[in-house]
């Protein structure tokens, strides 16, 4: 019978194009639940459904509803003798209705928009808890699609003002900037008055348009007056930029790329502050200290986090000449910022995060190291010790390890210490409480092309340590979901789509560059410094899930080789796109004062990896930079993606999976969350049962050592706890070789490592060229077992370093002290009769619970996150 049905009425009342494939797909899912999935049978039954619809009088003029079609599917299945399939379909339909109702409740909507239908319930919970706009009654007032649209529109405005009809790079035009500025006084009049294609600009978009125009016009780069720009906008002469908005919207709603949290919270909103990372100075001057404190409050209020190096503050007990008083020391000033953080809630969403740094030469360094080993101290801070070449030399090249602590005031010697004892103290503290981290300032500044322009070294990072910045610089981060950049081959196996990866890197580099222009910075000095360097941080997430899809073990040579190539491609293509932007838009203002014109680049791998191992033509790129300049001083950073990866439905950053199965105890019993890729594999192999899931959850979420699980699955589907800590370091190093900034990564260690092992991890990290290290020993952090995947969890397996690690240690480490320490730590421990005690499972302290939903926090990427609601102790993700 001829199919004369062309439309369908959806639940929302809107009419859409009829698609028989959707009926076939729903029947296929019901078939899969009862027997072997049979696509041919599903298609035949779908044909019968269409015939029945036509028989019942549904035509072009009488449009069937979704409910009509579903009723007829049930009838057809029963009538054709497929009662089992009919039953499965009815259950499937009921579950879909239940899920739909739950989703609508979560986002406070009467129907589901396209994004809500596509995103799973957990993704929507995270969006609802932190990102969707709310009214004065705290009710959600926008859909997920509208949220992504307000971000995409703002980014599109960034592109639009560089249109050839508006912009000229040479900068020889004069416009009336004050005329443009008057529009800032009447934003309400222009709320939803202009549009690009079908996308309306709200008043906050309009504000960014004005400010972006003023910035370019002040450099003489605007060919037209502001009124002429608005006339062109009204006359639809710039409607082609709707295509760019479509492109940015599609990247986000397809879960291929997400910008850092403040961008999604604030783009197209009143705050309009889009950056995650800021660094402030802390000079030894009371007026400037108070200025930094005030600036920090404004940053927290706008949704950002702050890194501060406190090393310029004189040590506790030093004489203050102006008052004849005694200095209270850096830690006391950290407490002031800690309190400010507590009081100022970020954009009404969450408390801010801080990085507090003291350099290893500071007389108060020992007090600083041990400060956070007790609970309740500096709770809004991550703390790190900054290390320079002189300390490292004393540690690894001298027998006595003598090292001088110096006065911040005049650099005069204050006290001699032993470098070995100092690193032991740091290692012991980190063993106890996961803090402090170490920041290797010598490595950070090794290829710092910007030092020449700033006439100083980098001395501070953002709260999670992956982004080094000068005072008042900010950085906009974003992450590409690598797990989604795959294509299926004819045999059903996945392969990575390198072409799509390149296209995505280019689009997202442009996206982040635009963010710099349309950002509403909280402090004028930040506005100036951010635009002088135009630093961006493009990174990745979903690495572990990608490797699962490709069936490659994370901690194997094949795994490391792929990660190396992914990292190299990320920086190469983003820098190449940055050069293209410099050609059309201009290089960053301080470019000519850096080492770029001399042919230097901030990429260690270019200098330290053999030329024949490079995958790209770096020398040709360097020549382009020398000729055209580059738009952004640095382009890549691998940031924490705690909540972003929950929205993108993928694994965190470049971390291995935290657990493959973990339990959620509910009143009716145990409920298991399972990694989706692993769930599929378990089902394909007939292993998806509650008994197996319980075994995995009780095995720290790992497949290792479970007899029912085939060896090949145990080898491929590894978790953070299956991977030796030395391999965690190698993975970080593989990415660090090619990443311009640094990497947010947690070096996971089992509970039974020693403080000596932690020290060896520091030595190996520095040797591998890392810029910083955060160690997390399971069971540290005030004796709470944060890595618990089940109340019954017990690890039944040992982990060993990979051959990759042992070969590296044997062949590449030449320093005798480092080699002996690392060799000693990597020796397989033979357990005697003395069984290592398990850490006691105590009640979880209040400070280890999520402040939003009171569920357990887990520690990943150097940051506490909640796997229930998406709360993150870091600001970027």
* Residue that the structure tokens 């320079």 belong to: 388
Q: What is the pLDDT of residue 731?
A: 98
Phi-psi category of 329—alpha, beta or left, where left has phi over 0 and alpha has psi -120 to 50? left
Q: What is the pLDDT of residue 59?
A: 78
Q: What is the pLDDT of residue 805?
A: 94
Q: What is the pLDDT of residue 779?
A: 77
Q: How far from chain centre, in Å, is Cα 137?
A: 31
Q: Which residues are catalytic?
A: 462, 464, 466
Q: How far from chain centre, in Å, is Cα 724?
A: 23
Digit-coded pLDDT (tens) for 560-599: 999 999 999 999 999 999 999 999 999 999 999 999 999 9
| Contact criterion met (CB below 8 Å) for 777 and 758 | yes
Q: Per the structure block, which two tokens stand in for 702?
A: 């790992």
Taking CA atoms, 610 is separated from 57, 606, 614, 615, 737, in Å, by: 72, 8, 7, 11, 12
| Contact criterion met (CB below 8 Å) for 669 and 279 | no
404 has which bridge partners? 416
Task: Please report, in angstroms and rounded to a whole number, the separation of the first and last CA atoms in the chain.
Answer: 54
Round to whole Å and give the CA distance between 110 and 107: 9
Q: What is the pLDDT of residue 838?
A: 39
Phi-psi category of 138—alpha, beta or left, where left has phi over 0 and alpha has psi -120 to 50? left
Which residues neighbour 579 within 8 Å (Cβ) at sequence distance 6 or greater? Answer: 621, 624, 625, 628, 629, 630, 631
CB atoms within 10 A of CB 805: 21
Round to whole Å and give the CA distance between 877 and 871: 9
Round to whole Å and give the CA distance between 714 and 124: 32
- State which residues of the chain have pLDDT below 50: 1, 782-788, 828-846
Round to whole Å and give the CA distance between 54 and 107: 37
Q: Is 363 helix (H, G, I), strand (E, B) or coil?
A: coil
Taking CA atoms, 425 is separated from 263, 419, 435, 747, 792, in Å, by: 39, 10, 11, 18, 33
Backbone angles phi and psi of 725, in degrees to 5? -60, -30
Q: How far from chain centre, in Å, is Cα 752?
A: 30
Q: What is the pLDDT of residue 859?
A: 67
Round to whole Å and give the CA distance between 242 and 308: 40
Q: 841: closest CA among 806, 799, 771, 794? A: 794
Digit-coded pLDDT (tens) for 614-656: 999 999 999 999 999 999 999 999 998 989 999 999 999 999 9
Q: What is the pLDDT of residue 875?
A: 59
Q: Is 309 helix (H, G, I), strand (E, B) or coil?
A: strand
Q: What is the pLDDT of residue 783?
A: 41
Q: What is the pLDDT of residue 784?
A: 40
Q: What is the pLDDT of residue 686?
A: 93
For residue 480, the number of C-alpha atoms closer than 13 Å in the C-beta half-sphere is: 27
CB atoms within 10 A of CB 651: 27
Q: Which stretch of DSSP H or E encloses residue 144?
A: helix 144-160
DSSP string, 735-795: HHTT-SS-B--EEEE-TT--HHHHHHHHHHHHHTT-SEEEEEETT-TTT--TT-SSTT---
Round to whole Å and give the CA distance between 650 and 677: 10
Round to whole Å and give the CA distance between 43 and 332: 71
């Amino acid at each position: 019978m001829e199919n004369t049905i062309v439309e369908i009425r959806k639940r929302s009342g809107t009419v859409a194009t009829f698609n028989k494939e959707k009926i076939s797909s729903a029947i296929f899912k019901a078939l899969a639940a009862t027997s072997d999935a049979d696509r041919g049978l599903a298609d035949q039954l779908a044909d019968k459904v269409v015939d029945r619809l036509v028989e019942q009088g549904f035509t072009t003029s009488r449009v069937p509803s979704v409910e009509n079609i579903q009723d007829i599917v049930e009838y057809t299945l029963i009538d054709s003798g497929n009662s089992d399939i009919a039953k499965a379909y009815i259950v499937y339909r009921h579950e879909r209705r239940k899920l739909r109702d739950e989703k609508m409740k979560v986002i406070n909507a009467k129907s589901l928009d396209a994004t809500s239908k596509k995103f799973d319930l957990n993704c929507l919970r995270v969006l609802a808890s932190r990102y969707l706009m709310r009214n004065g009654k705290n009710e959600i007032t926008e859909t997920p699609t509208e949220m992504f649209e307000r971000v995409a529109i703002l980014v599109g405005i960034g592109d639009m003002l560089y249109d050839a009809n508006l912009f000229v790079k040479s900068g020889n035009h004069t416009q009336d900037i004050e005329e443009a500025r008057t529009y800032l006084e009447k934003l309400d009049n222009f709320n939803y008055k202009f549009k690009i294609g079908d996308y309306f600009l709200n008043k906050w978009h309009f504000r960014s348009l004005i400010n972006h125009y003023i910035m370019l016009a002040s450099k003489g780069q605007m060919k037209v007056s502001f009124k002429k720009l608005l006339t062109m906008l009204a006359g639809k002469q710039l409607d082609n930029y709707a295509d760019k908005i479509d492109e940015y919207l599609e990247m986000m709603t397809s879960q291929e790329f997400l910008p850092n949290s403040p961008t999604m919270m604030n783009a197209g909103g009143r705050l309009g502050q889009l950056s995650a990372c800021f660094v402030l100075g802390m000079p030894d001057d009371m007026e400037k200290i108070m200025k930094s404190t005030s600036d920090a409050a404004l940053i927290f209020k706008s949704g950002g986090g702050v890194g501060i190096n406190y090393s310029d503050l004189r040590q506790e007990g030093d004489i203050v000449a102006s008052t004849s008083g005694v200095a209270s020391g850096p830690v006391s000033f950290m407490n002031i910022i800690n309190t400010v953080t507590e009081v100022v809630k970020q954009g009404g969403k969450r408390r801010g995060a801080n990085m507090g740094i003291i350099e290893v030469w500071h007389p108060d360094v020992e007090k600083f190291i041990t400060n956070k080993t007790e609970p309740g101290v500096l709770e809004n801070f991550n703390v790190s010790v900054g290390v320079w070449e002189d300390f490292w030399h004393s540690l690894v090249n001298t027998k006595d390890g003598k090292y001088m602590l110096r006065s911040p005031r005049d650099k005069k010697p204050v006290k001699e210490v032993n470098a070995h004892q100092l690193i032991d103290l740091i290692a012991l503290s980190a063993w106890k409480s996961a803090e402090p981290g170490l920041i290797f300032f010598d490595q950070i500044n090794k290829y710092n092309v910007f030092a020449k322009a700033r006439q100083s070294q980098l001395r501070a990072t953002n709260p999670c340590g992956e982004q080094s910045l000068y005072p008042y610089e900010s950085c906009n981060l974003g992450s590409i979901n690598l797990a989604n950049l795959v294509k299926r081959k004819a045999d059903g196996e996945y392969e990575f789509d390198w072409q799509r990866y390149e296209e995505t890197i280019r689009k997202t580099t442009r996206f982040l560059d635009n963010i710099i222009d349309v950002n509403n910075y909280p402090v004028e000095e930040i506005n100036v410094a951010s635009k002088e360097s135009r630093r961006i941080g493009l990174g990745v997430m979903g690495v572990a899930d990608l490797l699962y899809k490709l069936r490659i073990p994370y901690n194997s040579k094949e795994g490391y080789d792929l990660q190396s190539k992914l990292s190299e491609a990320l920086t190469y293509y983003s820098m190449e796109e940055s050069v293209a932007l410099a050609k059309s838009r201009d290089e960053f203002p301080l470019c000519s004062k850096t080492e770029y014109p001399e042919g230097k680049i901030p990429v260690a791998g270019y200098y330290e990896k053999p030329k024949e191992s490079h995958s790209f033509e770096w020398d040709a790129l360097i020549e382009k930079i020398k000729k055209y300049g580059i738009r952004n001083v640095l382009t890549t950073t691998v940031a924490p993606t705690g909540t972003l990866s929950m929205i993108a439905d993928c694994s965190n950053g470049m971390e291995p999976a935290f657990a493959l199965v973990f339990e959620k105890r509910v009143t009716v019993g145990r409920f298991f969350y399972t990694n989706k890729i692993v769930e599929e594999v378990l089902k394909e192999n007939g292993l998806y049962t509650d008994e197996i899931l319980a075994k995995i959850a009780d095995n720290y979420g790992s497949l290792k050592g479970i007899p029912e699980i085939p060896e090949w699955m145990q080898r491929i589907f590894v978790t953070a706890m299956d991977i030796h800590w030395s391999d965690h370091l190698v993975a970080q190093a593989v990415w660090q070789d090619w990443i311009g900034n640094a990497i947010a990564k947690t070096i996971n260690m089992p509970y039974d490592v020693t403080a000596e092992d932690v020290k060896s991890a520091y030595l190996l990290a520095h040797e591998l060229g890392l810029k910083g290290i955060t160690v997390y020993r399971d069971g540290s952090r005030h004796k709470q077992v944060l890595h618990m995947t089940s109340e019954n969890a017990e690890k039944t397996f040992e982990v060993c370093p990979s051959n990759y690690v042992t070969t590296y240690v044997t062949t590449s480490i030449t320093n005798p002290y480092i080699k002996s320490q690392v060799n000693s730590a990597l020796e397989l421990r033979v357990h005697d009769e003395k069984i290592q005690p398990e850490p006691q499972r105590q009640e979880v302290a209040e400070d280890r619970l999520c402040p939003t939903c009171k569920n357990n926090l887990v520690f990943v990427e150097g940051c506490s996150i909640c796997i229930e609601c998406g709360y993150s102790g870091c600001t970027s993700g």
